[in-house]
Amino acid sequence: MDKIPNTQLLEGDLPTRRASWIKIVPFAQSFNGYEYWGSVQKCREVAKQGVELHKGNKDLCQSLTDLRTCLFFEARRWKHLEKKPTPSGLNYIHALIEAIRVRVQTKELS
């Protein structure tokens, strides 16, 4: 999948609810968090906030850009580990996609 700017992101671009990892990866790669933030470190900081919110059972209230950064970082993490996400990892990934879906539906595209 090519890169998709937030302003051109449509709900149909998102994986379906409960999509398999293989269906999620291309969408996760449609945004490059390293490029957007200018460094791996900044991308990691943004991604860490999402993980902390999710682990604390809090709403993923971040911006669309931050949520896409989190999803991108998860795709990179699991590729680096050369594994598919664990059930809890996939639960977090699905939560990210659903939070992204809400931002797209409500046109919160920043």
Give residue-wise pLDDT tens across range 67-110. Answer: 999 999 999 999 999 999 999 999 999 999 999 999 999 999 88
Total number of domains constituting the chain: 1
Identify whether 1 is part of a domain.
no
- The tally of CA atoms less than 13 A away on the side-chain side of residue 23 is 12
Amino acid making up residue 60: L
Residue 110 inside a domain? The answer is no
In a domain? residue 34:
yes
Domain with 72 in it: 6-105
pTM for the full predicted model: 0.95
Phi, psi for residue 34 in degrees, rounded to 5: -65, -45
